[in-house]
Amino acid sequence: MDSNCGYVRYGRGYGRLSVAGASYGIGGTGARMGYAVVDSPFGLILTAATGRGLAWLGVHESSAYLEAELRGDYPRAEIRSGDGESARIAREIVGFVIGDTAKLEVPIEIRATPFQAAVWSELCAIPRGATLSYGEIARRIGRASASRAVGHANGSNPIAIVIPCHRAIGADGSLTGYRWGLEYKRRLLEHAGADAGRSGK
């Protein structure tokens, strides 16, 4: 992987996000990605990576569904299956989520607006086993009235789990708005030791 790419780094339960930009354009224009599917206690995980880092991650019971979603998000990219580096990254992520490893550093290559990057950074900073409401995330980035926009940014996160959008919940503590389905959101929170019915704020 390219050492100049962005990264997500976790240690002591907290994460830090660095978005260095992407070499590819909208819809994956100019991108070459390899992907792999691995099993996990909370569903199949598909990871797709460029030569610089992780670009996409989804979780579902169907590998065909995940591949279709990947190709739908990056219709202009050259995408191939059977990528060993993507499989290695996926196994590291699974090990971190289930608690086998305490630290995780994943090189990433994703596109983000400044607002998206701010929201995603706050998601990474949510401690393991905790949750925050969309409204609280909005307040933390200095946009108290933008909880709806935070929800949209949350939903547009291309690397689920690594940027833990499953830790964002409704103001009343309900599980809402997860691209991969609320059951997967519940499973991820349970594996992290979170009380899925209680907000951090």
Ordered domains of the chain (ranges, CATH)? 6-108 (3.30.160.70), 114-191 (1.10.10.10)
pTM: 0.91
Q: Is residue 5 among the annotated active site residues?
A: no
What pLDDT, in 10s, does the model give residues 120-160? Answer: 999 999 998 899 999 999 999 999 999 999 999 999 999 99
Active-site option among 165, 168, 169, 192: 165
What pLDDT, in 10s, does the model give residues 96-120? Answer: 888 888 899 999 999 999 999 999 9
List the beta bridge partners of residue 192.
none
Terminal CA-to-CA distance of the chain, rounded, Å? 38
**E strands along 12-102, which residues?**
14-18, 32-38, 44-49, 54-60, 78-81
